[in-house]
Chains A and B, each alone.
Chain A
Amino acid sequence: MRGRPNLFTSYEEEMRLFPTTTKRVMLVVALVLAVLLPLGQLPGLRFLGDSDWLIIIDRALIFGIAALGLNLLTGVSGQVSLGHSFFMAVGAYTAVVLGADAGRTVWGLGLPMWIWLPAAGIVAAVLGILVAPTAVRVRGLYLAFVTLGLVFIGLHLWRSVEAVAGKPGTGRPWPALELALWKGDPIISFASAGPWFGIELSAQAKSYFFFLFLLIVFALLAKNLMRTRPGRAWAAIRDRDIAAEVMGVNMFRWKTQAFAVSSFYAGVAGALFAAFLGRVIPESWDLLLAVEFIAIILIGGAGTITGTLLGTVFVVLTPRIVEAVTFWMAEELANQGTFAWLADLFIRKSPDDLLGFVSTDAAGPGLSIFQLNVVLFGVLIIVFLIAEPLGLYGIWIRVRNYWKGWPFTY
């Protein structure tokens, strides 16, 4: 059937994970590029191999895992959750209690990673199952408020239980990303630089490969879930829950499973995130983090794996780009370069500067870079929802369809 990629002669063929040749080729190309990236060998983008960029990209991989989880819950099964940061925190604190060493005031068992990483997911999933009955009972917007409440209750818990979370404002150290059989020396360490197969790699590059592997596993799992029975049940619930129930979809069972799977993803991602940063304060698991994931799936395109991954890259990398642009503008203004007039409109130079609203100095007046990013998130959520509800994925679909029909417009 060469030359006719959309002709499927059997149902199994159509439902394959990567049904067309194009998709398979693109997957291989993406994998090759992903392996070249941390080695600093990506043509034209060699700087991405620098460790400060790799830290951001590692973060994107972790966020990708969590976003895939939220996508299954919100995008596929239509259950609005503002509590994703809560489940991430549950995973992170499970990891630290199991994996870190006990301190004078904090608990810790010092177990190896192959125990604490899956456990982080499982404990989060159990909590997800505990929340699920509420989700079955309350619907739609009321559920959004329940999950919003989880974030605030969680924040209070993490601030109060110092034996688990450490002191408010300082937190406690997380176990390193090292694979050991038991409490001895690690067999593979993702947290220290060293050679792998004769190639010298930084710690960030090593954790990059580890996170990439996990992300691929989780993405394939999610894709598989979406095309098989659970995914169809979830989609049926999303599209019309009462119709789904009439058709024999067990609401309680599938909603609970959606919460469990989504929380598992969040728990693993939370544990990885905290372990990668090394130290997290209890206040970081806030509403802003949860909204960041909402932004990811809305900007990327709710209900699709590709869209979620695109959205993650977009949302995580934007702050870094905004930072770079802001500093470039400040420099341009200082040197009176070609674009000084443009920078003049953005950068705040004195307290009574009316036009400029961005400040490179965090303490002074004017939006700091962090604040600018938060505002940008908000604006992006609004703009995408109004202008392109299908997100980046929708834009990609339109581009693809244009070339499919070329030279015709339809």
Chain B
Amino acid sequence: MGIVVAQAAGPGGFPEFVNALASGIALGAIYATLALGFVLIFKATQVVNFAHGAIAALGAYLVSYFATALNVPGRWVPGLPPTAQWFLSVVVAVAVTALIGIAIERVTIRPMIGEPLFSVAMITLGLDLVIRTVTNDFMNNQVRGLGDPFGSQVIEIGFFRIAQTQVVTIVVALLLMVYLAWFFRTRMGVAMRATAFDQEAAMAQGIDVGKVFAVAWAIGAGLAAIGGIFSSVFPRGAGVSPFTFAIAFRAFPAVVIGGLDSIVGAIVGGMLVGVAEVLAGTYLTQKFLGQGFAGIVPWLFMMLVLLIKPYGLFGTEEVRRV
């Protein structure tokens, strides 16, 4: 699998550690973005979205399709610089992914309201197969570049090296967190919090729970798409490929470590997993651990955390009654 270990530049020692840490935080930002979308969907609709990785890959593919193959919407806006055109394509791709998210919720999740969590989770597992296979087929099972304007430029300050995309990733992730914090204070956000607390009570208060579900899936799928885009640019990959979903899959341990229903947990879990993975990629390269050991560090980390805290670091402990 195409696991790109972050550039382990420098002579080792402290500079190497700092660079790895920065790279880890950037990867953590990707995981946090993906995890945020996942947790948002879980909190609002009580659905464990196993198709999150597939939706992320689909979003990244749409960027590649809109930006490089169609040049939508850039072809209708003459005179715009290519960079602006690319960002417009990203906006369109994320919006389309959000619409797909709404469609998924309406067609496959809505009929399952009231069914056991496990059944709904299995539905998303089926969705994962469908979306992932169809996306891979669109990609023709090849790596497709996103045509992003960042390329592989690296910012160097003394020994400190960080890729331009990584800075963008961190900034975007921070902006998204601020946006979510703001969103939860809007009318819709409050309605979503109420729905997460108790669907029936929220309904009785006049909240349109169906609309809340749709919005949650739209934002969740949009966040997945953004995470998918950053998973398929330098230094994580040369473009979106049939293996992009695997990067997105590693956001699952991040979610579980943070606790399935905790927004803060998603951010902390994402960061922890990202840093742990890159540090493992830098330092745990002994031969007996095998090639690409860093790729399973998130899963091992998850098992360890679950053994100590069965509901993750910030997850709500289920109060059990007979």
Q: Which residue of B lies closest to A133 (CB)?
A: B307
- Closest chain-A Cβ to B266's Cβ sits at a distance in Å of 14
Given the complex, which residues of B lie within 8 Å of A146, measured CB to CB? 302-303, 306
Q: How far is the CA of A33 from the CA of B149 in the complex (A)?
A: 66
Q: Which residue of B lies closest to A145 (CB)?
A: B256
- Closest chain-A Cβ to B201's Cβ sits at a distance in Å of 23
Given A243-B322, A375-B130, A381-B122, A386 and B111 contact (CB-CB distance below 8 Å): yes
Given the complex, which residues of A lie within 8 Å of B260, measured CB to CB? 141-142
Q: How far is the CA of A385 from the CA of B133 in the complex (A)?
A: 20
Q: How far is the CA of A149 from the CA of B307 in the complex (A)?
A: 14
Give per-residue flags for B153-174: 1 if the beta carbon is below 8 A from chain A beta carbons, else 0. Answer: 0000000000000000000000
Contact, CB under 8 Å: A291 / B129:
yes
Contact, CB under 8 Å: B108 / A386:
yes
Stretch in contact with the other chain, from B69-77, B87-95, B212-220, B286-294: B286-294
Given A141-B118, A242-B320, A385-B119, A156 and B293 contact (CB-CB distance below 8 Å): yes
Given the complex, which residues of B lie within 8 Å of A246, measured CB to CB? 322
Given the complex, which residues of A lie within 8 Å of B311, measured CB to CB? 138, 142
Given A246-B322, A378-B129, A134 and B137 contact (CB-CB distance below 8 Å): no
Given the complex, which residues of B lie within 8 Å of A294, measured CB to CB? 122, 125
Q: How far is the CA of A139 from the CA of B108 in the complex (A)?
A: 25
Give per-residue flags for B254-279: 1 if the beta carbon is below 8 A from chain A beta carbons, else 0. Answer: 00100010000000000000000000
Given the complex, which residues of A lie within 8 Å of B312, measured CB to CB? 142
Chain B residues 125-144 with CB under 8 Å of chain A are: 125-130, 133-134, 136-137, 140
Given the complex, which residues of B lie within 8 Å of A291, measured CB to CB? 125, 129
Contact, CB under 8 Å: A134 / B306:
yes
Given the complex, which residues of A lie within 8 Å of B111, measured CB to CB? 386
Contact, CB under 8 Å: B118 / A145:
no
Contact, CB under 8 Å: A381 / B125:
yes
Give per-residue flags for A344-388: 1 if the beta carbon is below 8 A from chain B beta carbons, else 0. Answer: 000000000000000000000111100100110111111001100
Chain B residues 277-309 with CB under 8 Å of chain A are: 289-293, 295-296, 299-300, 302-303, 306-307
Q: Which residue of A lies closest to B124 (CB)?
A: A382
Q: Number of contact residues on A: which range applies?
A: 35 or more
Contact, CB under 8 Å: B108 / A382:
yes
Given the complex, which residues of A lie within 8 Å of B302, measured CB to CB? 145-146, 149
Q: How far is the CA of A265 from the CA of B112 in the complex (A)?
A: 32
Q: How far is the CA of A379 from the CA of B321 in the complex (A)?
A: 36
Chain B residues 226-253 with CB under 8 Å of chain A are: 249, 252-253
Q: Which interface residue of B48, B130, B291, B307 has the most chain A CB atoms within 10 A?
A: B130
**Does B121 lie at the interface of the complex (its beta carbon under 8 Å from any beta carbon of A)?**
yes
Given the complex, which residues of A lie within 8 Å of B252, measured CB to CB? 145, 148
Given the complex, which residues of A lie within 8 Å of B295, measured CB to CB? 152, 156
Given the complex, which residues of B lie within 8 Å of A365, measured CB to CB? 137, 140
Chain B residues 39-74 with CB under 8 Å of chain A are: 48
Given the complex, which residues of B lie within 8 Å of A149, measured CB to CB? 253, 299-300, 302-303
**Does B8 lie at the interface of the complex (its beta carbon under 8 Å from any beta carbon of A)?**
no
**Does B203 lie at the interface of the complex (its beta carbon under 8 Å from any beta carbon of A)?**
no
Question: Which of these, A134, A368, A386, contacts B303 with CB under 8 Å?
Answer: A134
Contact, CB under 8 Å: B310 / A378:
no
Give per-residue flags for A81-112: 1 if the beta carbon is below 8 A from chain B beta carbons, else 0. Answer: 01000000000000000000000000000000
- Closest chain-A Cβ to B64's Cβ sits at a distance in Å of 16
Chain A residues 128-166 with CB under 8 Å of chain B are: 134, 137-142, 144-146, 148-149, 152-153, 156-157, 159-161
Given the complex, which residues of A lie within 8 Å of B125, measured CB to CB? 82, 291, 294, 378, 381
Q: How far is the CA of A127 from the CA of B153 in the complex (A)?
A: 47
Q: How far is the CA of A385 from the CA of B125 in the complex (A)?
A: 12
Contact, CB under 8 Å: B129 / A374:
yes
Contact, CB under 8 Å: A140 / B119:
no
Chain B residues 102-126 with CB under 8 Å of chain A are: 108, 111-112, 115, 117-119, 121-123, 125-126
Q: Which interface residue of A146, A152, A161, A291 has the most chain B CB atoms within 10 A?
A: A152
Q: How far is the CA of A101 from the CA of B180 in the complex (A)?
A: 59
Chain A residues 290-339 with CB under 8 Å of chain B are: 291, 294-295, 298
- Closest chain-B Cβ to A291's Cβ sits at a distance in Å of 6
Given the complex, which residues of B lie within 8 Å of A375, measured CB to CB? 129-130, 133-134
Question: Which of these, A137, A156, A240, A295, contacts B292 with CB under 8 Å?
Answer: A156
- Closest chain-A Cβ to B312's Cβ sits at a distance in Å of 8
Q: How far is the CA of A149 from the CA of B252 in the complex (A)?
A: 9
Q: How far is the CA of A137 from the CA of B303 in the complex (A)?
A: 11
**Does A389 lie at the interface of the complex (its beta carbon under 8 Å from any beta carbon of B)?**
yes
**Does A80 lie at the interface of the complex (its beta carbon under 8 Å from any beta carbon of B)?**
yes
Question: Which of these, B117, B133, B137, B293, contacts A366 with CB under 8 Å?
Answer: B137
- Closest chain-A Cβ to B141's Cβ sits at a distance in Å of 9
Question: Which of these, A159, A371, A389, contacts B291 with CB under 8 Å?
Answer: A159
Contact, CB under 8 Å: A382 / B134:
no
Q: Which residue of A lies closest to B131 (CB)?
A: A378
Q: Which residue of A lies closest to B288 (CB)?
A: A160
Q: Which residue of A lies closest to B318 (CB)?
A: A139
Q: How far is the CA of A134 from the CA of B305 in the complex (A)?
A: 11
Q: How far is the CA of A288 from the CA of B128 in the complex (A)?
A: 10
Question: Which of these, A137, A138, A240, A385, contacts B123 with CB under 8 Å?
Answer: A385
Contact, CB under 8 Å: A298 / B290:
no
Contact, CB under 8 Å: A153 / B300:
yes
- Closest chain-B Cβ to A15's Cβ sits at a distance in Å of 28
Given the complex, which residues of A lie within 8 Å of B256, measured CB to CB? 142, 145
Q: How far is the CA of A246 from the CA of B127 in the complex (A)?
A: 38
Given A367-B133, A375-B134, A385-B112, A141 and B121 contact (CB-CB distance below 8 Å): yes
Contact, CB under 8 Å: A378 / B112:
no
Given the complex, which residues of A lie within 8 Å of B310, measured CB to CB? 137-139, 142
- Closest chain-B Cβ to A353's Cβ sits at a distance in Å of 14
Given the complex, which residues of A lie within 8 Å of B108, measured CB to CB? 382, 386
Q: Which residue of B lies closest to A246 (CB)?
A: B322
8 residue pairs of the A-B complex, CB under 8 angstroms, read A134-B307, A139-B318, A144-B48, A294-B122, A295-B126, A366-B137, A367-B137, A389-B115
5 new A-B contacts at CB < 8 Å, known A137-B310, A365-B137, A365-B140 = A144-B121, A152-B295, A367-B133, A375-B129, A379-B130
